[in-house]
Amino acid sequence: MPALSPTRTLLALKKNATTLSVILKGVDHARAVSARDGSDGWTVLEVLCHLRDYENIFMSRNKLVLEADEPALPVYNPMTLAAENRYAEQDFLTVWNEWLELRRQHLDLLSRLTPEAWNRKGAHPTWGIVPILEMATITALHDGDHTEQIIRALGLSDVIFA
């Protein structure tokens, strides 16, 4: 199995959901809107809204790549999405369930791909020509990025690597 492979990536996408569920154990809406990543950073609720919206974006990009030859991939501004989708006014539990459902759909899509389909590519204006495998792996690592952000917002770890 190569260092980056569909099997490894699918496993990471499944596993991250379990790990995030542990980090969020005991967190209710009140805590999710009060725990913030720094004085002007996002709350836990806003981070989760970001993960939900990008799950949809990542999955939609993969669908585009499966349907067209090297399509142009749409890009979004996270801060604009936060304002447009009124992250601060969302319900924490609803957003969590929406993210889980999108992750299920995304996994279902990816788990049915042939080796050739995993290598189909899209054109990102910043990243260049990227295959589905690399975009899906980035999705898994993006989970980790924001899981760590949630941990910092909730004060759950003393370990910080500057």
Partner 1 sequence: MNTLYTPDRALMWLRKTPVILSAILRDVDQTKAMGNRDGDDGWNVLEIMCHLNDLEDVYNQRLRATLEQDRPALIGFKPLEAVIEHDYAHQIFSDVVQSYLVRRTEKLRLLESLSAEQWQRVGVHADYGDMRVLDQAVATALHDVNHTEQIVRVLNIASIVL
* Residues at the interface with partner 1 (CB under 8 A): 1-4, 8-9, 11-12, 14-19, 21-23, 25, 100, 103-104, 107, 124, 126-130, 134-135, 137-138, 140-141, 144-145, 147-148, 151-152, 156-162
Residues 6+ apart with CB under 8 A from 62: 106, 109, 110, 132, 135, 136
State the nearest-atom distance from the C-beta of 146 to partner 1, in Å.
9
For partner 1, the closer of residues 93 and 129 by Cβ is: 129
Which of 77, 103, 87 has its CA nearest to residue 47? Answer: 87
Q: For the CB of residue 87, give the shortest distance to partner 1 in the complex, in Å.
A: 21
- CB of 151 closer than 8 Å to CB of 157: yes
Minimum CB distance to partner 1, residue 91 (Å)? 18
Selection from 161, 153, 146, 56 nearest residue 101 by Cα? 56
At closest approach, how far in Å is the CB of 57 from partner 1? 15
Residue 107 beta carbon to partner 1: minimum distance, rounded to whole angstroms: 7
Q: Which is nearer to partner 1, 18 or 39 (CB)?
A: 18
User: What values do phi and psi take at 97, rounded to 5?
Assistant: -65, -35
Nearer Cβ to partner 1, position 45 or 153? 153
End-to-end CA distance of the chain: 33
Sign of CA dihedral 85, 13, 3, 59: negative
Closer by beta carbon to partner 1, 21 or else 60: 21
Task: Give whichever of 66 and 123 is closer to partner 1, judged by the CB atom.
Answer: 123
